[in-house]
Structure 1
Amino acid sequence: MKKALIIGGIVVSLVIIYFLVSGGETSGGAELISTVEKGDFEVKIITTGELEAKNSVEILGPSGLRNFRIYQVNIQNIAEEGTEVKKGDWIATLDPSELTGRISDLQTELDTKESEYTQTRLDTALQMRQARDELINLKYAVEEKEIVLEQSQYEPPATIKQAQIDLDKAKRAYSQAKENYKIKLEQNAAKMRIAGGYLGKIRRDFGDLMQLKESFQIKAPEDGMMIYRKGWDGKPIKEGSQISAWDPVVATLPDLSVMLSKTYVNEVDVRKVKVGQPVEIGLDAFPEKELKGKVISVANVGEQKPNTDAKVFQVSIQLEGHDPLLRPSMTTSNTIITKSVADVLHIPLESLHNKNDSITYVFKKEGLNITKQEVSVGETNADAAIILAGLEEGDKVYLSMPGDEDGDVDLLPELNGKRNQKKEEKPAKEEAEAKKDMRRPKGAR
């Protein structure tokens, strides 16, 4: 009987222990607890970026469009993005409709100027021939008058005088005709230069237009892989897109030996980012790859994100080494390590709670009890925070708020001074504002 009672007691004890253990496991499963750890802590900023080549060769469309008042040209056909091309290979064809109209108009003008030039040349040639004939005739007239004067030596003085006057008139007419011939020659030469200048300009313009038409067939300047140029809206160009006469870039040939990840950091975190900081880089296309890089530039001016009020700053990250699998426009995950602190206490961010926006505390487990312990927090990253005071290595803290939220917070004495100072500053500031309002004239706001 005694033996049976002992066995029964043992069984009951085992059952009680079982339920106690089961209850404890259930409770522990619902209450997630983390241990305060001590070690190296990295302040990180995590962003998403896009790969692009650091250096590239631009594939340009025609450069002389503005000379003929053409400011926008549509892309009629274009090779597929990512195509491996050789120097001189076809890249794209531009729509020549507007250019063809200009060529037709200039052809008509060229025909007109050539006719005018021919007419001017014939007119001046005829005028100069007439002027030369006149000179010859006047020269003969002078010679005739000289003969008449010579034969009149035995005539009366009046006859000799008349012959001399006639000779002088003939010489003067011949001299004037020679001067007029020189002037007319210069005039006609000027007319020919003007007509020739107009014709030459039209011919040059026509030749330039024909060369421009040839450049509407865009060719690759170097070997490489073609990447479409992105427009003002950030979208790649395509068939039907327009290129501008001021910026006629159609596509690029990137140098894949040196790659960048272009990313954007919000205005709150950008002050932490500095040139030279290390970056851990992942690729969505190849999750198994782990790449390294460093920050090489941080924009000084922010940008507005589309459809949001957020301001961001562009950050360029250069990848280390070369990987033939990397391609422009691949999506990257960038972890920028802005600061590394050695041998510090840290806990998950989920453990931190705030009271009145002035007290940061944790739920600390001490045996079977739970206390609300104020902590002093240092640097944080996306996952954890440095604890400057309030906890020790090995302490247990709750990741989620326990069911019972009542109870006072155990405050840190070293933070009381700062809290009291803030309390004193607040009434003083309010009093100063009240005095300012009293000095303000009535009706002024």
Structure 2
Amino acid sequence: MKPAGTTRRFRYARRILTVALALAAVCFGAASFLPGTPSSSSSLMPLVCRAQRKQFIHAILAKGELQSAVNVDVKCEVRSRLSSWVRILEVVPEGTNVQPGDFLVRLDSAFLEADLLQQQIACEQSQAALVQAQSAYQSALSARQEYLDGEYRLQRQKLQMKLFLAEEELRKSRDLVQSSRKLASKGYLTFKQLEADVFAVKSAENTVSSARVALDVLDNLTKVRRLNDLDSAVAVGKARLASREQISAANLKQMSEIKEQIEKCIVRAPVAGQVVLAHLHHNDHSHMVEPGEQAREGRALVRLPDARSMEVKADIAEENVALVVAGMPVTIALEAFPGRPLKGRVKWVNEYPKPEDWFGPASKQYETIITIEDPFPGLRTGMTADLKILAAEENQALQIPSQSVLKHGDQCYVLTTDGGRWEAVPVEVGRDNGRYTVIVSGIDEGAEIVLDAASHRGKVDLPELPRENG
């Protein structure tokens, strides 16, 4: 009878041997599935594959985010004379479906109401000044008309009457002198009496001349001077009235604008849509629109996307952007709706890369828009989408695994081995989707080639590459 320790050691050794034989069988079976690989020397022979004709698909994978192609940005239209910021007091919850005229955001209007009170006082003061200016202007016009139709006419009539009386007196004096001369020639009057009548004529002539001068002074000097003064008063009154009218109109307009600004503190939906709250950017930080945050004029508060016109915005890496063109078909898979793929097409690829972000991807990214051809209800902006862009598709294309292609300079090769004899066969390659490469010429369908060409590069003779100058 064997000792117990010997029996246990025997059982343990038998188990180890069984496991080793099983592993050997698995390795042998796996090696036998590789085409053209001898089972007796799998560790010495390279892995090989065959060139096959089948459908070639080159798909570019990317991630994107749903957005609406038709968006209405509802912006803050409130401004203040003292500050460019306005506080947000109330916001409708994101995702709310709204109709035109529904409430969206309420902004703080306290500072505007204080401005309105001050502006009302300014409007009342400017209105009082306007009334005074109107009265002064009308008084100036009345004074001018009063002078022309009243004072001037009375003065002129008096002077005309004085001139008329002087001329009449002159006529009488001349008639009297003629009579006196006849009487004096007959001796009825003395020389002194005749001389007195002649003096009366000269006095009457002076009186007529003085009356005519007074009338001329009134028409050509006094009237002109008074009209200049009165016209100046009218012009000053008119200018002051225009100034007061402008000031009053400006104050009224400003008060109207303040009232309009107060009304704009209640932001309402201009169109129907589903509320998407915007982000406010200030002080190098991004904040979602919410009560207590600050907004400023022109900044978007709410976006109302049209769910009937959805699209996907994605970023395409620089190494793939040349392969993506408008019109390419796209398969869209939404994380929110697994098993319900959507069809789309590339609408637009930006010509310029996005600004580089310190925390973003290392390669440059190009913004790309994909339209959705068959949207279904329930799509929302911001949903994550996995994109499969069909860049190329070819039926019955001769292709091999991409790792079977060895690039040497500008020429591509595949490696063959026949009975230990290695050979580099030049080939012309077509498209490469990262897994398979299309062969245009160089080998035929069914040709057996080395799978991992780069690992066996040193086993073949390749032409020497020309040296670069310098």
1:141 maps to amino acid:
Q
Q: Equivalent residue for 1:24? A: 25
> Structure 1 length as normaliser, TM-score?
0.72
5+ unaligned residues in a row in structure 2: which ranges? Answer: 1-16, 36-48, 171-199
Change (3 A) 1:80 1:192: same
Higher Rg of the two aligned structures: 2
Give distance in 1, aligned partners of 2:34 and 2:356.
39
Measure how far apart 1:343 and its partner are: 1.8
Give distance in 1, aligned partners of 2:66 and 2:137.
70
Change (3 A) 1:334 1:31: farther
Q: Equivalent residue for 2:89? A: 76
5+ unaligned residues in a row in structure 1: which ranges? Answer: 1-15, 434-445
Give distance in 1, aligned partners of 2:350 and 2:421.
46
1:120 maps to amino acid:
A
Residue 43 (str. 1) matches residue 43 (str. 2)? no
Measure how far apart 1:316 and its partner are: 0.9
Matched residue SS, 1:269: helix
Residue 284 (str. 1) matches residue 299 (str. 2)? no
Q: Equivalent residue for 2:68? A: 53
Change (3 A) 1:408 1:71: closer
Of 331, 336, 339, which residue of structure 1 is paired with 2:392? Answer: 339
Give distance in 1, aligned partners of 2:91 and 2:421.
69
Q: Equivalent residue for 1:147? A: 161
Residue 380 (str. 1) matches residue 432 (str. 2)? yes
Matched residue SS, 2:466: helix
Give distance in 2, aligned partners of 1:31 and 1:79.
67
Measure how far apart 1:291 and its partner are: 1.4
Residue 257 (str. 1) matches residue 308 (str. 2)? yes
Change (3 A) 1:74 1:137: same
Give distance in 2, aligned partners of 1:86 and 1:17.
76
Matched residue SS, 1:202: helix
Q: Equivalent residue for 2:262? A: 213
Measure how far apart 1:301 and its partner are: 0.2
Measure how far apart 1:142 and its partner are: 2.4
Measure how far apart 1:255 and its partner are: 1.9
Measure how far apart 1:20 and its partner are: 6.1
Matched residue SS, 1:303: coil
Change (3 A) 1:137 1:17: closer
Give distance in 2, aligned partners of 1:118 and 1:371.
114
Matched residue SS, 1:315: strand
> Structure 2 length as normaliser, TM-score?
0.69
The superposition leaves residues 84-124 of structure 1 with CA deviations (integer Å, 9 ceiling, x where unpaired) of 11111111123345545654554454344334323433444
How do 1:261-410 and structure 2 match up within 5 A?
Answer: 261-307=312-358, 308=360, 309-346=362-399, 379-386=431-438, 393=446
Greater mean deviation of Cα atoms: 324-333 or 250-259: 250-259
Change (3 A) 1:218 1:19: closer
Greater mean deviation of Cα atoms: 144-153 or 170-179: 170-179
Q: Equivalent residue for 2:101? A: 88
Of 231, 253, 277, which residue of structure 2 is paired with 1:204? Answer: 253
Measure how far apart 1:235 and its partner are: 5.9
Q: CA RMSD in A?
A: 4.3
Give distance in 2, aligned partners of 1:94 and 1:370.
83
1:292 maps to amino acid:
K
Q: Is the 8 A contact 2:310 2:372 kept in 1?
A: yes
The superposition leaves residues 253-306 of structure 1 with CA deviations (integer Å, 9 ceiling, x where unpaired) of 222222111101111111111111111110111111111111111110011442
Q: Is the 8 A contact 1:283 1:333 kept in 2?
A: yes
Change (3 A) 1:132 1:320: closer
Q: Is the 8 A contact 1:372 1:409 kept in 2?
A: no
Q: Is the 8 A contact 1:82 1:226 kept in 2?
A: yes
Greater mean deviation of Cα atoms: 284-293 or 93-102: 93-102
Aligned identity (percent) is 20
Q: Is the 8 A contact 1:371 1:409 kept in 2?
A: no
1:300 maps to amino acid:
E
Matched residue SS, 1:82: coil
Q: Alignment length, in residue pairs? A: 395
Of 207, 232, 253, which residue of structure 2 is paired with 1:159? Answer: 207
